[in-house]
Amino acid sequence: MKISIEWLQEYVEIRESPEKLKEDLSMIGLLVESMTKVHGTHVLEIEVTSNRPDCLSHIGMAREIAALYSRPLKWPTVQAKLSIPSDRIPYAIEIRDEELCPRYVGLVMDGIKVGTSPDWMQRRLESAGMRPLNNVVDITNYVLLEMGHPLHAFDYDVLRKGKIVVARARQGERFQTLDGMERELDGEMLMINDGEGPVAIAGVMGGMNSEISLSTTRVLIESAYFGPASIRRTSKKLGLSTEASYRFERGADWDNTVPAIARTCSLIEQLAGGKIAGSLQDIYPRKKDPVRITLRQANTKALLGADLTSEFIESTLRRLNFDLAPEGEKAWLVTCPTYRADMELEADLIEELARFYGYGNIPATLPPSKTIGIHSPVYRLENSIREIISSQGYNEAINLSFANEMDHLEFPPLQGERAAVRNPLTEDTQYMRTSLAAGLVRSAKRNFNYGQRLVRLFELGKVYHLGSDGVPFERNVLGILGTGGFTDQNWKNPSASFDFFHLKGVLSKLLQGVRVPSFEIEPAGKIPWLNPAESAVLKIGKETAGVLGSLSASLEEKYKLKQPAYLAEIDFACIEKFAFAPPSYDPLPKYPSAERDISIVVSRDLAFQTIHKGILQLGICELVRLQLIDVYEGEKIPEGKVSLTLRLTFQDREKTLTVDRVQDFIDTILSFIHKTYGVGLRSI
Amino acid sequence: MSESIDNLRRLFEEDLAAIDGMESWKAVRDKYLARESGVITTELKKLRDLPKEARPAFGQAMNQLRALVEKKLQERLDEAKAAEASTKLQRIDVTRPGFPFALGSIHPIKRLQSEIEQIFVSMGFQIFNLPEIERDYYNFEGLNMPRNHPARDAQDTFYFDDSVLLRTHCSSVQVHAMEELKPPIRAISTGKVYRRDPFDATHSPMFYQVDVIVIEEGITMGDLKGMLDVFLKRMFHSDIRMRLRPGFFPFVEPGAEVDISCIFCSGKGCPTCKQSGWVEILGAGMVHPKVLRMSGIDDSRYSGFAWGMGIDRVAILKHGVDDIRLFFENDLRFLRQF
Ligand SMILES: [Zn+2]
C-alpha cells in the first residue's frame, strides 16, 4: 500500500521526519518497505499483512498513527444531502444472496459532466500508484484510497431495467469485464445484474457494458459489503485481482458503506457537477453486529509475561477506537470497531496491547525444561553416513527434488510410478524425481564444464513415487557418483582412474562404518541407466538394497562426459534396518597366525565370490581371513582364464599351528578347487 | 679442597671442548675415568690424607664430579654419532606435497541443519522427521489457514491433487507434535520446503526450514523471547542482539517478525542490512488458540509459542553467500569451501 505523507496529513498531524515515522510504524507491525518521493512528497510503501485490510487506506493509516502518537483524527467533511423528498430517478436494489452480500447501499446522481479531475486529485492518485481516468472514476478511486472502501459507479442509462439485482451467475455464462477480457462465470460467482443480465462481477470488476463514458450524465453509485471468501474464490478462479477484490477478500467494513458513498456523492457534487436524483437506499437484510470480546487483565499477563496496568489497557484500546465496558473484576467487555476484520478472540486484543506496549518491553524469560531432548530416528545414521563418505573425499550435493520429462526417459524409475505436480512452475518441475542419478550426473556435467574432471559427489535425499492408492510417497535414498582420477594428480599418485571397484570399496567402507553386519554385491540384471557389463546390486540380508555400476554408454555419450562415471543408489531404509548392529567382543587370539598365498588359474567366468563361498563352506574354522591380493591375465595364462592370488590366514585359538596342519588346510582347499572348478595351483 | 675440585672440573671442560674425534674422546675418557690411573681415582686416593670429618664431603663431591664427567662424555659421544649418521643419510624433501588423500565436504545447509538439531536437543526438544509430501490439513487447515484464506497467497503451493501438496513450511510439525504428544511439548522439524517461486538470486522453489513449537503450562511471550535469544546467540554469536516487531502469521497470535543485529556491520549499517543495522531472520509468535483447539489441546490450560526460520537464510548470513542458487548447483568450487 502506497501512502503519501502529504495526503496523510489531511487526517492526522505528523511532526516526525519520514525516517522516524518509518521506524515507528515498523515497530507497530506496519513495515515500511521503501520510501520514495512523488510530486514532491514522501510516499511510503507499506507492507500491510493480510489480516489488516483496515490499513489499506490513508485514513486507515492515519488511525494507527493517531493512536501511536495520541493525536486526534480529522475526518473529511461531507456536505452532500443523501436523500431528497421525491426521487427524479426511481431505482430499485434487490439482494438475492444475503449470505454473499449482507449489505448494499446505492444512490443515483444526475447532471454529471464527465471530464478530467482536478490536479490535486490526480497528483494524489498518482502518488498512490493509480492512473487518473475521468472525474467520476477518479473520485471512486480517491475515496477507496482515502477511506478504504471499494465503490463502483455504473452508467445509469445503460442499466436496462433501472435496477440492481445482486445474485449468483449462471453456470457457464460469459461476461466481458472493464479490461476488455471475456470471462466465463460459474454458479458460485456473485454478480451485479440490471434485471436483464450482468453488469459487474460483484466486488471484483465492472462490466464493459456499464462503463462510465464521456457521454455519461447519470450514475448509480454502489457501496456494498461482499463476503470475503466468495470474493477471493471468484478472484482466484478468474485470475483477476483488483484494488476492490483485494480489500473485500481481506474483509471490508460493512459500516463504512454509508460514509463512503456520502463522501463520493459530496465529491461528485463538488467536482463533476452531479446532483442527487435517487435517494440513498440502504439494503441491509442481515445486520452484522460488531465483534465483542471479553478481556481479562490476568490473561494479558499469562500470554505476554508482562504486567500491563488497567490504565494502559483501557487507554490503548480506547485510542484504537475499541469500546470498553467493565465486566467484573479486572475484566472488560470490549466492542471492536467494525473495520477491524482481524478481531475474533481475546488473543487478538492482547496483540493490540502488545503492539503498543512494545514487544521490546516484554521481559525475556527462559522456561525451565520439562522434557528430554530426542534426536530424530535417522539423525545418527544420516550423520554417520555423511561423516564417513565425506571423509573419503566425497562432496555432499543437494539437487532439486523435481524432474522433467527427459529425466524420466533417461533415468526411468527402478520401481513404482512417478508422481506428477498438478501445477508445475516450469517443465523442470513437472514431476518429482524417482532417482538421484539424474541430478548427480547433471551436477557432474556442470563441474566438467568448469574444467573439473575429478568429481566425487554424494546426496542423501528423497525420491518420490506414486503409491498404490494414487497418493505420492517419499523414501530416503543415498546416491553416490565418482568419475575421473582416483586421486588428484600428484607426484605420489598411483595413476589409477576411478572404476567400479573404487565405488564398491567406498560403499563397503560405508556399510562397515555404520556396522551393517553383512552384505553382498552381486551381478545385476538389466538396469536401464547402467552399463550391463558393469552393474551390480547390493544385497543386505535377503533384501535388494540398491544398485551400482557405471553409467550406460548411451548416457555417457549423450552427456558428452568423455570418461566413465560410476553411480550407486542405495535405499536408506534398508541400511537403517541393519545398521548399528551392537558390537560384541571377540577375545584376542593368544597364538600366532599363519599366512599362505596361493595362485589359482580359473575360468574368467567363474565369479570370485563363488570360489570364496566354496572355500568357506569347507568348514575350516581355522581359516580366519581370505584376501584376493592379485589378479593376472595375460601371456602366461591361457585364453579365457585368469590367475587369482589368494592370501589365506589361519589361526587356532587353542594352540600354535604346526606347519603340517597349515599344509593340510591348503591341500584340502586346493583339492576342493581342483575337483570343483578343474583348476589348480598356477605353475610359475 | 673444593677449590681443587672446581679446578678439576674446569680442566675437564677444557679437555671436553678440545675433543675432535674418537681417539681424543677415548683419551679424555681414560684420563679421567681409567680404573687405576684416572684423575678421579687418583684424587680419591687422597681421601686417606684428609681429616676424618672432611672425608664424607670430599667423597661426595668427587662422586658428583665422576657422574658429571660420565654424563658429559656420553652426551659428546651421542652428538658425534648423530652427526655422523646425518651425514650418511640422504635428506627427504619435506616440502613436497603430501599424499593427496581426498577431503570431501558436508553441504553447508546440511551442516547447519544438524547444528540446529543439536542445539534444540540440548534444550529438551524432540526432533520430528516429517514428510515433504503433506496433506493440506497439516500444512494449512490445521494451522488456521482454511481454503480461501488470503494468507495462502504468500505461500504459492505445488499441489498433487486438491488435498495433497508439497509442504510450504515445516510448521506442519505443530499439528503433528500436538497430535502425537501430550503437553509439555517441545518439538522441531527441519527439512526441505517448496514454494512456487521461480529461481533467482534470492528465491528458490525449494529451500530449507526449521520450525519450532513449545506447548506447556504458563508459557508466555517473554519465554519466546528468552528462548529465541539463547538460540540465536548459539546459532550466530554471543554478541548478537535481537528485536521483535509485530508480524502476522495465521497460526500465531500475537505474531512477531524477528530481526537480529546485522552480523556484517554489527548494527552500524551496511548494504546487506540496507543501512538499518538489522536483518530479518525469522517469524514467531504465540500459538493461536484455534490451532491449539483444532489439535485437541485445552487452550485454557496450555499456551505455547512457535517459530519458523529459513536455514538457507542462516547459511547466507553466516557464510556471506550472495546467491541462493549456489546451494543447489553442486559446483565443487563452492562445496569445497565448506
Ligand atoms: Zn549491516
Secondary structure (DSSP) of B311-322:
HHHHHHHHHT--
Does the CB of B217 have a partner CB in chain A at under 8 Å?
no
What percentage of chain B reaches a pLDDT higher than 90?
Answer: 64
- Tell me: do A545 and A660 sit in the same domain: no
CB contact under 8 A, B127 and A375: yes
- Tell me: do A615 and A513 sit in the same domain: no
- Tell me: do A353 and A398 sit in the same domain: no
- Tell me: do A155 and A237 sit in the same domain: yes
The Cα–Cα gap between A634 and A684 comes to 13
Which pTM value belongs to this model? 0.86
Checking if the pLDDT of A409 tops 50, the result is yes
Return residues 8-27 of B near A (CB < 8 Å). none
Specify the pLDDT at position A322. 98
Average pLDDT in the A288-295 region? 96
Q: Is residue A76 part of a domain?
A: no
* Sequence-distant (≥ 6) Cβ neighbours of residue A391 within 8 angstroms: B103, B104
Give contacts of B96 with chain A, Cβ < 8 Å.
491
Give the tens place of pLDDT for each residue, B184-217: 999 999 999 999 999 999 899 999 999 999 999 9
Q: At what angle do helices B22-33 and B55-88 cross, to 10 degrees?
A: 170
Interval between CA B276 and ligand 1 midpoint (Å): 7
- A125-139, A330-344, B146-160, B229-243: least confident range: B146-160
- The alpha helices in A128-168, defined as continuous H runs, are 135-147
- Which one-letter amino acid corresponds to residue B209? Q
As given in the structure block, the three cell numbers for residue A324 are 470498553
Q: Cell numbers 690411573 label which residue? A: B37
Asked whether A437 and A530 are in contact (CB, 8 A), the reply is no
Give the tens place of pLDDT for each residue, A61-86: 999 999 999 999 999 988 888 999 99
The secondary structure of residue B127, as a DSSP letter, is E
Q: Is residue A586 part of a domain?
A: no
CB contact under 8 A, B107 and A488: no
Distance from CA of B92 to the nearest CA of A (A): 14
Q: Could you tell me how many residues make up chain A?
A: 684
Give the tens place of pLDDT for each residue, A205-245: 999 999 999 999 999 999 999 999 999 999 999 999 999 99
Compute φ and ψ for A329, nearest 5 degrees.
-75, 120
Which of A223, A250, A245, A225 shows the shortest CA–CA distance to A234? A245
Q: Cell numbers 506442519 label which residue? A: B172
Tell me which of A49, A241, A392 to substitute to probe the interface with B (most B C-beta atoms closer than 10 Å). A49
- 3-state SS, residue A395: strand
Question: How far is residue B323 CA from its own chain's centroid?
Answer: 25
Interval between CA B279 and ligand 1 midpoint (Å): 8
Distance from CA of A348 to the nearest CA of B (A): 6
Which of A65, A84, A78 shows the shortest CA–CA distance to A22? A65
As given in the structure block, the three cell numbers for residue B111 are 551442516
- Tell me: do A137 and A212 sit in the same domain: yes
A·B CB contacts under 8 A: 267
- A126-135, B16-25, B101-110, B277-286: least confident range: B16-25
Helix (H) or strand (E) holding A677: helix A659-677
- Domains: count for chain A: 5
- Tell me: do A302 and A155 sit in the same domain: no
pLDDT grade, residue A683 (50/70/90)?
very low
Choose the closest CB to A399 out of B248, B253, B330: B330
Give contacts of B328 with chain A, Cβ < 8 Å.
398-400
Does the CB of B245 have a partner CB in chain A at under 8 Å?
yes
| CATH code at B108-335 | 3.30.930.10
User: DSSP per residue over A513-564, as a string?
Assistant: HTT---EEEEE-S--TTEEEEEEEEEEETTEEEEEEEEEPHHHHHHTT--S-
Specify the pLDDT at position A20. 95
Average pLDDT in the A35-52 region? 93
Higher pLDDT, A280 or B5: A280
Distance from CA of B88 to the nearest CA of A (A): 25
Which of A499, A455, A437, A475 shows the shortest CA–CA distance to A571? A475
Which of A671, A605, A612 shows the shortest CA–CA distance to A639? A605
The Cα–Cα gap between A662 and A374 comes to 53
Interval between CA A61 and ligand 1 midpoint (Å): 29
Checking if the pLDDT of B261 tops 50, the result is yes
CB contact under 8 A, A29 and B246: yes
Interval between CA B255 and ligand 1 midpoint (Å): 25
Checking if the pLDDT of A550 tops 70, the result is yes
Choose the closest CB to A386 out of B110, B125, B290: B110
Domain boundary residue, one of A262, A283, A304: A283
- Tell me: do A35 and A111 sit in the same domain: no
CB contact under 8 A, B104 and A392: yes
ipTM (interface pTM): 0.90
Q: Could you tell me how many residues make up chain B?
A: 338
Asked whether B122 and B188 are in contact (CB, 8 A), the reply is no
Checking if the pLDDT of A330 tops 80, the result is yes
As given in the structure block, the three cell numbers for residue A111 are 447532471
Checking if the pLDDT of A402 tops 80, the result is yes
- Tell me: do A500 and A603 sit in the same domain: no
The Cα–Cα gap between A367 and B220 comes to 9
Choose the closest CB to B245 out of A26, A391, A421: A26
Does the CB of B150 have a partner CB in chain A at under 8 Å?
yes
Specify the pLDDT at position A490. 84
Give the start-end residues of each E strand in A53-162: 92-95, 103-110, 152-155
Complete edge-to-edge strand list for the sheet that includes strand B302-310: B126-128, B185-194, B206-217, B302-310, B278-287, B252-261, B242-246
pLDDT grade, residue A682 (50/70/90)?
low
- Tell me: do A14 and A161 sit in the same domain: no
Choose the closest CB to B127 out of A348, A374, A389: A374
The Cα–Cα gap between A524 and A200 comes to 67
Q: Is residue A365 part of a domain?
A: no
Checking if the pLDDT of A684 tops 60, the result is no
Q: What is the CATH number of the domain that holds A608?
A: 3.30.70.380
pLDDT grade, residue B326 (50/70/90)?
very high
Nearest-Cα residue of chain A relative to residue B159: A422
- Tell me: do A214 and A182 sit in the same domain: yes
Average pLDDT in the A16-39 region? 94
Distance from CA of B287 to the nearest CA of A (A): 10
Average pLDDT of chain B is 92
Return residues 41-100 of B near A (CB < 8 Å). 96-100
**Domain extent at residue A475:** 379-487+495-578
Average pLDDT in the A500-514 region? 96
Complete edge-to-edge strand list for the sheet that includes strand A92-95: A92-95, A163-168, A190-193, A198-201, A205-206
Checking if the pLDDT of B84 tops 90, the result is no
Give contacts of B126 with chain A, Cβ < 8 Å.
371-374
CB contact under 8 A, B100 and A387: no
CB contact under 8 A, A374 and B121: yes
Q: What is the CATH number of the domain that holds A28?
A: 3.30.56.10
Q: In chain B, what are the domain boundaries?
A: 2-90, 108-335
Distances in whole angstroms, Cα of residue B301 to Cα of each of A241, A250, A603? 42, 31, 77
CB contact under 8 A, B330 and A457: yes
For chain B, the straight-line distance linking the first and the last C-alpha, in angstroms and rounded, comes to: 73
Does the CB of B105 have a partner CB in chain A at under 8 Å?
yes
Average pLDDT in the B111-139 region? 96
- Tell me: do A52 and A180 sit in the same domain: no
Interval between CA B262 and ligand 1 midpoint (Å): 4
Interval between CA B261 and ligand 1 midpoint (Å): 8
Tell me which of A395, A449, A480 to substitute to probe the interface with B (most B C-beta atoms closer than 10 Å). A395
User: B303 forms bridges with which residues in the sheet?
Assistant: B216
Asked whether B143 and B174 are in contact (CB, 8 A), the reply is yes
For chain A, the straight-line distance linking the first and the last C-alpha, in angstroms and rounded, comes to: 90
* Sequence-distant (≥ 6) Cβ neighbours of residue A294 within 8 angstroms: A327, A331, A332, A333, A334, A346
CB contact under 8 A, B332 and A373: no
CB contact under 8 A, B221 and A354: yes
- Tell me: do A522 and A599 sit in the same domain: no
Asked whether B100 and A488 are in contact (CB, 8 A), the reply is yes
Helix (H) or strand (E) holding A472: strand A472-483
Q: Is residue A547 part of a domain?
A: yes
Does the CB of B214 have a partner CB in chain A at under 8 Å?
yes
Does the CB of B246 have a partner CB in chain A at under 8 Å?
yes
Compute φ and ψ for A372, nearest 5 degrees.
-105, 135
